[in-house]
Amino acid sequence: MKSHTTVRKYTDEPILDEVFHQLIEAAQHAASSNFVQAYSVIQVKDEKKKEQLGVLSRNEFQFSTAALSLIFCADLQRAKQAVELQGKEIQGDNLENYTVATIDTALFGQNFAIAAESMGYGICYIGGVRNNPKEISELFGLPEYVIPLFGMTVGVPMKHNEVKPRLPVEAIVHEDGYDTEKYVDQLKAYDELTKAYYMRRTNNKKDFTWSETMKDYLSTEKRAHLLEFVQSQGFLNTLK
């Protein structure tokens, strides 16, 4: 697990459906709140759809060169039908149910990633599917209560990248309460560490720190269209 890196270039070695299904079965053993198992996966084999997915997610190279092109979906459609079998209606606009679906899918996806890496494959999460979730949903016929949460490409790595240095354990763990003051020194040290990593890595060297990355990523609004799309799929309709 500590050797994980994002893989962006793969060999042309295929992954058989049998192996893919083994990885799915392993991923299904992730924890699931109330055993809802609120996830589905779209395996994209059709080359035209794969090309369209690449354009819509702004990840053409990834999806066109990977052995597996996948979309991980938060899914309450299956549970909705189960509820209806019992003569009731699902409460999809409940924030808890939406949270369960997204967490279930994230845990399932990470289990899948670990299983794939244990077999020698590499993976790349594709958050870009949230750039155009409505169009992607239409492309793959996603029904109500199903949203494309993230994509993933899988394949045999062309090469192995250097592992990024993570935050120190002391920055993550708080004892008996949350300590905001400790970040002052920890962030300075971590910025020095990440800058040194970016400057010495083999590819895509850059003079950058973690704090600068966070500034660029979190100080501007991202994907403002998401709430409207999520509500159009039946979730969170009571939120403004």
**pLDDT means per 10 residues in the chain (240 residues)?**
89 96 98 96 97 95 94 97 94 88 98 97 96 97 97 93 91 95 94 90 80 91 91 82
∠ CA 100-62-126, nearest 5°, is 20
What pLDDT score does 75 carry? Answer: 97
d(CA 237, CA 147): 14
What pLDDT score does 166 carry? Answer: 94
**Is the pTM higher than 0.85?**
yes
What pLDDT score does 207 carry? Answer: 86
What pLDDT score does 240 carry? Answer: 60
d(CA 7, CA 2): 15
